[in-house]
Amino acid sequence: DGGITQSPKYLFRKEGQNVTLSCEQNLNHDAMYWYRQDPGQGLRLIYYSQIVNDFQKGDIAEGYSVSREKKESFPLTVTSAQKNPTAFYLCASSGEITGRNYGYTFGSGTRLTVV
Amino acid sequence: KQEVTQIPAALSVPEGENLVLNCSFTDSAIYNLQWFRQDPGKGLTSLLLIQSSQREQTSGRLNASLDKSSGRSTLYIAASQPGDSATYLCAVGGNTPLVFGKGTRLSVIA
């Protein structure tokens, strides 16, 4: 079945450490996205990519980095510059940025906790 | 900048009741509107997608309507069940990635 796989499900980060969250899709979607979810805050856009080797900052990109070397993969690195990284991270993909025809498909999320 | 508001933030109803969740957005220049369901600690599951040229979409007991001119959408759930308990999120799509509301947390009491 086609879908989006996020790993790991749970991740613990020590102060000053960089960690990478994985996101892989087999839907043949061009566009991929990373959102952050905090209690009571809704989903906020971190980064998105419309095509391989290209990506744009979202509303809260500071302290994060991404790469898009393959169509299927869009990993997110949470750097030590991100002061409050504890949150639920969601990856999504769509056939086109607007999601006009088929909308967005989401993965099951990664819960990151600073210890 | 697009802003999406969902009212109410939380709702508790007895089983069997019909209910309406509301979503409003500030910029009517949208391509589509998507309703999602989220269970605690889980990802988002798409429920309904309404394209800008459409007025409503139906799936089983769910019906979503869209009024672009007034910047509003409603999600109607018929004959609610305890299994419908979840958070429901509304998101609008335009030239930029989906913008989300904060959601409505629904509890259906048996």
Per-residue pLDDT of chain B (110 residues; tens, 9 = 90+): 899 999 999 999 999 999 999 999 999 999 899 999 999 999 999 999 999 889 999 999 999 999 999 999 999 999 999 999 999 999 998 878 999 999 999 999 99
> CA quadruple B63, B67, B71, B72: dihedral positive or negative?
negative
d(CA A85, CA A80): 9
In the predicted structure, residue A40 carries a pLDDT above the cut 90: no
In the predicted structure, residue A50 carries a pLDDT above the cut 70: yes
pLDDT per residue over A90-115, tens digit each? 999 998 666 566 789 999 999 999 88
d(CA B83, CA B33): 24
A99 closest CA partner among B49, B24, B37, B63: B49
In the predicted structure, residue A1 carries a pLDDT above the cut 80: no
Per-window interface: B 25-84 vs A, CB < 8 A: 31-32, 34, 36, 41-46, 49, 51-52
d(CA A103, CA A89): 19
Query: Chain-wide mean pLDDT for chain A?
Result: 92
Residue of B46, B95, B102 with shortest CB distance to A41: B102
d(CA B36, CA B103): 9
Contacts of A99 in chain B (CB under 8 A): 31-32, 34, 49, 93, 98
Mean pLDDT of A70-97: 92
Q: Which two tokens mark B96?
A: 């930029």
In the predicted structure, residue A2 carries a pLDDT above the cut 80: no
Residue of B32, B43, B49 with shortest CB distance to A108: B43
In the predicted structure, residue A83 carries a pLDDT above the cut 90: no
